[in-house]
Amino acid sequence: MSTLTTDIAAGFDVARIREDFPVLKQTIHGKPLVYLDNAATAQKPHAVIDAIVKFLSVDCANIHRGVHELSQRSTAAYEETRTKMKRFLNARSKNELIFVRGTTEGINLVASSWGHKNVREGDEIVVSAMEHHSNIVPWQMLCEAAGAKLRVIPIDDRGELIVEEYARLLNPRTKMVAVTHVSNALGTINPIKEIVAMAHRVGALALVDGAQAAPHLKVDVQALDADFYALSGHKMVGPTGIGILYGKSKLLNAMPPYQGGGDMIKTVTFEKTTYADLPYKFEAGTPNIAGGIGLGAAADYLTHIGLDQIAAYEHELLLYGTQALEQIPGLRMIGTAREKAAVLSFVIDGIHPHDIGTVLDRMGIAVRTGHHCAQPVMDRFGVPATTRASLAFYNTTREIDALVAGLHKVKEVFS
Partner 1 sequence: MVDDLYQETILDHSKHPRNCHVLGGANHHAEGYNPLCGDKLKLYLKMKDNVVEDASFVGSGCAISTASASLMTESLKGLKREEALKLLERFHDLLTTDSPVTKELGKLVVFCGVRDYPARVKCATLAWHTLKSALENKEEPVTTE
Binding span for partner 1 by CB under 8 A among 90-98, 218-226, 253-261, 362-370: 362-370
Q: Out of 362, 398, 405, 408, which residue is the one contacting partner 1 (CB under 8 A)? A: 362
Candidates 62-70, 189-197, 203-211, 371-379; binding stretch for partner 1 (CB under 8 A): 371-379
Position 147: which residue type? G
Q: Is the peptide bond before 138 cis (omega within 30 degrees of 0)?
A: no
Write down the least CB distance from residue 102 to partner 1, Å: 20
36 is an interface residue for partner 1 by CB under 8 A: no
Answer for which of 190, 369, 395, 396 binds partner 1 (CB under 8 A) is 369
Q: Contact at 8 Å (CB) between 25 and 49? A: no
Q: Which amino acid is at 182?
A: V
177 touches partner 1 (CB under 8 A): no
344 contributes a contact to partner 1 by CB under 8 A: no
Is 388 a binding residue for partner 1 by CB under 8 A? The answer is: no
Residue number with CB closer to partner 1 (113 or 387)? 387
- 354 binds partner 1, rule: CB under 8 A: yes
Going by C-alpha positions, the residue among 250, 236, 349, 254 that lies closest to residue 294 is 236
- Closer CB to partner 1, 62 or 375, in the complex: 375
What is the smallest separation between the CB atom of 158 and partner 1, expressed in angstroms?
22
Residues 110 and 251: their CA atoms lie apart, in Å, by: 10
User: No. of H helices and E strands in the chain?
Assistant: 16, 17
Contact by Cβ (8 Å): 380, 256? no
Burial class (CB in 10 A: 0-12, 13-18, 19+), 324: middle
Q: How far is the CB of 362 from partner 1 (least distance, A)?
A: 5
391 in Cβ contact with 318 (< 8 Å) = yes
Stretch that binds partner 1, among 126-134, 205-213, 273-281, 353-361 (CB under 8 A): 353-361
Closest approach of Cβ 367 to partner 1, in Å?
13
Closest distance of CB 302 from partner 1, Å: 31
The nearest distance, CB 160 to partner 1, in angstroms, is: 24
Does residue 121 come out as left (phi exceeding 0), alpha (psi in the -120 to 50 range) or beta? beta
Which residue, 106 or 364, has its beta carbon nearer to partner 1?
364
Annotation marks residue 373 as catalytic? yes
How far apart CA 240 and CA 233 sit, in angstroms, is 6
Is 330 an interacting residue with respect to partner 1 (CB under 8 A)?
no
Q: Is residue 385 at the binding interface for partner 1, with CB under 8 A as the rule?
A: yes
| Closest residue by Cα to residue 295 from 247, 244, 256, 371 | 244
Q: Is 25 in the site for partner 1 (CB under 8 A)?
A: no
CB of 241 to partner 1, least distance (A): 22
Give the C-alpha separation, 216 to 392, whole Å: 8
Does residue 384 belong to the site contacting partner 1 (CB under 8 A)? yes
DSSP for 332-359, written as a single string: EES---SSB-SEEEEEETTB-HHHHHHH
What is the residue-wise DSSP string for 115-168?
Answer: HHHH--TT-EEEEETT--GGGTHHHHHHHHHHT-EEEEE-B-TTS-B-HHHHHH
Of the pair 400, 410, the CB lying nearest partner 1 is at 410
372 binds partner 1 (CB under 8 A): no
Site membership for partner 1, residue 359 (CB under 8 A): yes
Query: Could you say which of 276, 373, 383, 404 is catalytic?
Result: 373
Binding site for partner 1 (CB under 8 A): 351-355, 358-359, 362-363, 369-371, 375, 378, 384-385, 409, 413-414
Residues acting as catalytic residues: 373
